[in-house]
């Protein structure tokens, strides 16, 4: 499958598995899983060409590893980023001293006033490196990288989770735990 089609399929899969499963008439279970067979049949019924080989390729080649199969390979879900109610079953884990969040400079005043909030998603997404945060911030405009004092947040009672694709998650980041990375 050419890269353009791979990206298109990945975006469609993200829409269905993270935000709007009803768009193609499927339901996610409480942990976000859906049967691969049910998913592919629903996609086909909507007139899209998307077979198991293409699905495997999207899961394997997605640069952010957004999707995962269960241990049997018969169910699939998004690793994080849902705006629909799911419980991914992640357990709290101790974060590194600092984590990073990429945003656009135009949002900084609001963020430093209100902190980071998940918006329509379940959690705020954080990374372990500034380079990833720059890429995320660039998607929204002129990038700015925020440093999150994760160890201090943990000590103050905030919980952190790590998704299967390595994205760090927390419910919110109050402004007092944020600083801007110079640059």
- Render pLDDT for 2-58 as a digit per residue (tens, 0 to 9): 888 888 899 999 999 999 999 999 999 999 999 999 999 999 999 888 899 999 999
Enumerate the CATH 1.10.10.970 domain ranges in the chain, comma separated: 3-78
C-alpha distance from residue 171 to each of 135, 142, 145, 177 (Å): 22, 25, 19, 13
Question: What pLDDT score was predicted for residue 35?
Answer: 97
Q: Is the pLDDT assigned to residue 105 strictly greater than 80?
A: yes
Domain 99-180 has CATH 3.90.79.10: no
Span 171-177, mean pLDDT? 97
- Lowest-confidence range among 93-97, 118-122, 158-162? 118-122
Question: What pLDDT score was predicted for residue 122?
Answer: 82
Spatial CA neighbour of 178 closest among 92, 101, 96: 101
pLDDT band per the 50, 70, 90 thresholds, residue 77? very high
Domain 3-78 has CATH 3.30.470.10: no
- Calculate the average pLDDT of the chain: 93
Enumerate the CATH 3.20.170.30 domain ranges in the chain, comma separated: 99-180
Span 133-154, mean pLDDT? 94
Question: What pLDDT score was predicted for residue 121?
Answer: 80
Q: Is the pLDDT assigned to residue 1 strictly greater than 70?
A: no
85 or 75, which is more confident: 75
What's the whole-model pTM score?
Answer: 0.78
C-alpha distance from residue 69 to each of 8, 32, 179 (Å): 20, 11, 37
């Amino acid at each position: 499958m050419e890269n353009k089609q791979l990206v298109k399929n990945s975006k469609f899969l993200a829409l269905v598995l993270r935000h709007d499963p009803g768009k193609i008439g499927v339901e996610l279970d409480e942990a976000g899983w859906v049967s691969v067979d049910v998913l592919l049949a629903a996609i086909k019924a909507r007139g899209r060409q998307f077979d198991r080989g293409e699905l495997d390729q999207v899961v394997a080649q997605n640069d952010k590893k957004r999707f995962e199969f269960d241990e049997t390979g018969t169910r699939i879900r998004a690793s994080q980023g849902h705006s629909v109610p799911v419980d991914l079953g992640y357990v709290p884990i101790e974060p590194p001293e600092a984590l990073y969040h990429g945003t656009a400079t135009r949002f900084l005043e609001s963020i430093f006033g209100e902190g980071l909030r998940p918006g329509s998603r379940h959690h705020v997404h954080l990374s372990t490196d500034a380079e990833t945060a720059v890429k995320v911030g660039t998607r929204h405009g002129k990038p700015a990288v925020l440093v999150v004092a994760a160890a201090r947040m943990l000590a103050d009672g905030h919980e952190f989770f790590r998704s299967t694709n390595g994205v760090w998650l927390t419910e919110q980041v109050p402004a007092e735990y944020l600083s801007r990375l110079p640059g």
